[in-house]
């Protein structure tokens, strides 16, 4: 059931609000129409009872020979008099109209006094309309527009003669359907508009907060939220700004500590490098220098990884193909093979040095562990995808996510002569996420490991 509900809070609130309003409006219309029916029946029954009582009194005042002429003269589309009707032809009572018939009987007895006998029915049917003739007034919500309310009375006159009188009210119909429907549509449209406006105003602060949270993941130094609006919104904005400030201070403090450690470590490394130059054994000197380079590389990459999203580099549009071609040329200078396929149709707004570092790490990994790298660019309207494939053995499926962990190295399936700190993929993923994208690994069906860098294209 939940999967059929709208996903956004705005849509759900609109659905709940409109559903409740439609339900309440429908119930209100039903009660309104029932009250109108009751008032209309009361008016029509009083009118018909008066006409029938006047007719019976007039028939009582005439001789039997004159009654047929009077009946012929009074018969009309809304009144029909039948003389000499047998008791077996008296109208049949409708159980659904029992209350209405009882009310109509009381009205007649009040008007006629003690009549010999009165049998009255109230019905809605088609045949009396055709029999009586004329055009029936239409009801705004009557799905059978030709039906009429018929008040039928069978009674005995003072001399014992029988008479049946059918009366149809002359007026009191509901307004015409187009007018009522038009009014309801106008009312419903106004309710929808006001509901959408109210829900939009209520959910706007949440949208702002969600957008700020997304930006925070990409840029810890994004502008703080405006602490305005209702009390709850101001409290949420203040709490968010406080959290952002504490995170920024924490990252800055961590970066300062790491920078100091890096500086403190580079000083003895430099002294060791100078002392290594004094060694007379060239083989030992080379090994010493290699160890020092690895130490310095580890310090630098660790600092880059720990810096994470705290990158003050400005965003600017970059020609992705030119960036990849420069990395391809750098690899070719040292005899490494990098293939390039596809094309990026338009520049991509990014932090150039950071994205170059990300792509460089991925290409270096492909060359180190897979002998060569093939870069495939797929540019779409909503995202830019860059695939980096190697010709290596791949890695176990269970390790595809673990290799992003800091200092984790999968030597069981990689060359043990490549070295490295185990931070390259973690740094690459951090940079991808800093741009609102992501980095995934998979074993290619044709062999080798494939790194998929996905970057969103914003309108």
DSSP 87-148: GGGSPPPPGGGHHHHHHHHHHHHHHH-S-S-EEEEEEEESHHHHHH-SPPPP-TT-SSTT-E
Q: Give residue 135's pLDDT band: very low, low, confident or very high (50, 70, 90).
A: very low
Cα 27 to the chain's mean position, in Å? 27
Q: Which residue has the tokens 């019905």?
A: 123
| Contact criterion met (CB below 8 Å) for 367 and 336 | yes
Q: What is the mean pLDDT of residues 163-172?
A: 78
Query: Which tokens hold the place of 348?
Result: 């991509």
Bridge partner list, 163: 83, 155
pLDDT at position 340 is 94
Q: Give the relative orientation of helices 424-434 and 177-218 as an angle to the nearest 10 degrees.
A: 140
Domain ranges, ordered by start, for the chain: 2-178, 231-307, 316-456
| Other beta carbons less than 10 A from residue 95's beta carbon | 6
Compute the distance between CA of residue 188 and CA of residue 414 in angstroms, rounded to an integer. 68
Q: What is the mean pLDDT of residues 21-47?
A: 82
329-364 pLDDT per residue, tens: 999 988 888 999 999 989 999 989 889 989 999 999
pLDDT at position 347 is 93
pLDDT at position 139 is 37
CATH top-level class of 231-307:
mainly alpha
**CA-CA distances (angstroms) from residue 364 to 327, 345, 353, 357?**
10, 25, 16, 10
300-310 pLDDT per residue, tens: 766 666 665 55
CATH number assigned to the domain with residue range 316-456, chosen from the 4 options 3.20.20.80, 3.40.50.300, 3.40.50.1360, 3.30.565.10: 3.30.565.10
Query: Which tokens hold the place of 112?
Result: 């006629």
User: Which has the closest alpha carbon to 291: 419, 187, 183?
Assistant: 419
**CA-CA distances (angstroms) from residue 409 to 70, 235, 353, 387?**
115, 45, 25, 22
Run of H or E residues at 413: none
Mean pLDDT, the chain, integer: 79
């Amino acid at each position: 059931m939940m999967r059929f509900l709208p996903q956004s809070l705005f849509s759900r609130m609109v659905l709940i609000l409109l559903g409740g309003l439609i339900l309440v409006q429908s119930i209100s219309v039903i009660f309104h129409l029932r009250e109108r029916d009751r008032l209309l029946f009361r008016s029509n029954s009083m009118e018909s009872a008066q006409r029938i009582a006047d007719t019976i009194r007039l028939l009582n005042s005439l001789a039997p020979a004159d009654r047929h002429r009077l009946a012929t003269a009074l018969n009309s589309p809304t009144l029909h008099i039948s003389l000499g009707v047998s008791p077996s032809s008296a109208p049949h009572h409708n159980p659904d109209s029992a209350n209405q018939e009882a009310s109509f009987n009381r009205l007649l007895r009040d008007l006629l006094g003690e009549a010999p006998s009165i049998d009255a029915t109230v019905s809605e049917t088609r045949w009396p309309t055709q029999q009586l003739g004329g055009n029936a007034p239409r009801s705004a919500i009557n799905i059978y527009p030709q039906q009429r309310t018929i008040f039928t009375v069978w009674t005995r006159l003072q001399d014992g003669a029988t008479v049946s009188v059918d009366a149809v009210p002359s007026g009191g119909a509901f307004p015409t359907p187009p007018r009522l429907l038009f009014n309801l549509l106008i009312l419903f449209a106004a309710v929808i508009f006001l509901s959408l406006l109210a829900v939009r105003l209520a959910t706007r602060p949440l949208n702002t907060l969600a957008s700020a949270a997304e930006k925070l993941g990409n840029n810890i130094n994004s502008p703080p939220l405006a602490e305005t609006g209702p009390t709850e919104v101001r409290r949420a904005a203040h709490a968010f700004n406080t959290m952002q400030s504490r995170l920024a201070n924490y990252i800055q403090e961590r970066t300062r500590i790491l920078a100091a450690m890096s500086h403190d470590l580079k000083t003895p490394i430099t002294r060791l490098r100078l002392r290594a130059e004094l060694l007379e054994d060239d083989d030992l000197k080379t090994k010493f220098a290699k160890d020092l380079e690895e130490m310095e590389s580890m310090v630098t990459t660790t600092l880059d990884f720990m810096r994470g999203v705290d990158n003050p580099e400005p965003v600017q549009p970059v020609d992705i193909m030119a960036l990849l071609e420069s990395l391809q040329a750098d690899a070719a200078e040292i005899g490494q093979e990098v293939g390039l396929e596809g094309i990026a149709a338009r520049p991509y707004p990014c932090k150039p040095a950071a994205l170059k570092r990300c792509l460089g790490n991925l290409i270096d990994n492909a060359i180190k562990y897979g002998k060569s790298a093939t870069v495939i660019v797929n540019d779409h309207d909503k995202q830019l995808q860059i695939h980096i494939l190697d010709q290596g053995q791949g890695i176990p499926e269970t390790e595809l996510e673990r290799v992003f962990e800091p200092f984790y190295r999968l030597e069981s399936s990689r060359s043990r002569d490549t070295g490295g700190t185990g931070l390259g993929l973690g740094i690459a993923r951090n940079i991808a996420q800093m741009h609102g994208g992501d980095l995934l690994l998979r074993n290619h069906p044709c062999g080798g490991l494939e790194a998929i860098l996905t970057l969103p294209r914003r309108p």
